Structure 1
Amino acid sequence: MTVTLMWEARAVPGRGADLLEWARAQELEGVPLRRETFTAAQDRVLVLTWWDVPDEDAALPELPEPPAGLLTRPVHRWRFVSRDVAA
């Protein structure tokens, strides 16, 4: 089964590049099937990691909270389970 972890944070205005650099530098315990990093308006950074696990409640490594002075609010985190893949 594939579980995707979504991590999204919003940097203090003008610090999006710093948050992106911080997120890219974070190492996870274990190697995901895939890791992808995105940026968006308002200095947002999104990291998605895909994991092959035996069940949807499996313990998985997550990115930590960035330094407090870098964020405008707490990090948002979601867990998704893949149910279908279309070409």
Structure 2
Amino acid sequence: MTVALMWEARAASGRGEELLAWARAQEPAVRPVRRETFRAAGDRVLVVTWWDAPYDAELPELPEPDAELVARAVHRWRFESVGLES
């Protein structure tokens, strides 16, 4: 089964590039099958990791950044793949 973990944070005012650099520097103890990092308007950063694991597996997640770096708490979601379409 493929499980995707999504981690999304909004940077404090003017700190979007710093949050992006921080997120990209985080290395989990175990490497995922795939990892992709995105940025969006409003200084938001999204990291998606894919894992070959059961839905309820213990998986390493990105930590919370320092409170001064973010405008709000990090949002996290877990999804399981239901198929690949082209």
- Partner in structure 2 of residue 5 of structure 1: 5
Instruction: Provide the aligned C-alpha RMSD in A.
Output: 0.5
How far 1:29 sits from its partner (Å)? 1.2
- Partner in structure 2 of residue 22 of structure 1: 22
Aligned pairs for 1:24-39 within 5 A:
24-39=24-39
Q: Deviations over 1:3-47 (max 9, x none)?
A: 000000000121000000000000101110100000000000000
Runs of 4+ in 1 over 2 A off after TM superposition: none
Does 1:51 find its partner at 2:48?
Answer: no
TM-score calculated relative to the size of structure 2: 0.98
- Partner in structure 2 of residue 74 of structure 1: 73
Paired residues, what number? 86
Query: Partner of 2:68: helix, strand, or coil?
Result: helix
For structure 2, the 5+ residue unaligned runs are none
For 1:3 and 1:14, the matched residues in 2 are separated by 33
Query: Partner of 1:74: helix, strand, or coil?
Result: coil
